[in-house]
Amino acid sequence: MLRISRLTDYATVLLASLASEPQRVQTAASLAEQTRIAAPTVSKLLLQRAGLVTSTRGLHGGYQLARPAAEISAAGILDALEGPVALTDCSAGHGQCEIEQNCRVGRVWQRLNLAIRRALYDVSLAQLAGLDAPPARLPALEREMKAAATRTRLR
């Protein structure tokens, strides 16, 4: 299953909270209160994310986004938190798999991985935070996802 970690999910919630008030410097405590994420987790996630947030020390210190939310992609967030998305070893790049010389499916996995990365680059933090126009609805995809979820529950 392709799934992001809970900490990555929490970090995205924190980044979305920062995006909602980009001019305001927010403390870890205020972010913890707003998001209901434990304060130690907030501090850990914000301090580890070099390049996504900036911090200011002192009495009026806190955190802000390093750049506008529209310029931060979902791919950038995942890369910072979990490393680049790779569906298989071979989709991470050549030389990562011991059977790649004889493999017939590697190129297709690489193509799928690239499509996922493109989709992640197309979604900004502003969109994740709900600051842009509402997302386009894709009824066929939504039906397919609901059917897959139902099949998984029935197993």
Looking up tokens 């490393």 gives 83
Tokens (6 digits) for 3:
């799934």
Q: Kindly state the helix (H) or strand (E) to which residue 146 belongs, with its residue range.
A: helix 139-154
pTM of the model: 0.78
Q: Alpha-carbon distance 115 to 121, whole Å?
A: 10
Mean pLDDT of 7-12: 94
Cα Rg of the chain (Å, integer): 19
Note the pLDDT tens digit of each residue in 94-148: 666 778 788 888 888 888 999 999 999 999 999 999 987 655 566 776 777 777 7
Least confident of 24-28, 39-43, 132-136, 150-154: 132-136
What was the pLDDT predicted at 148? 74
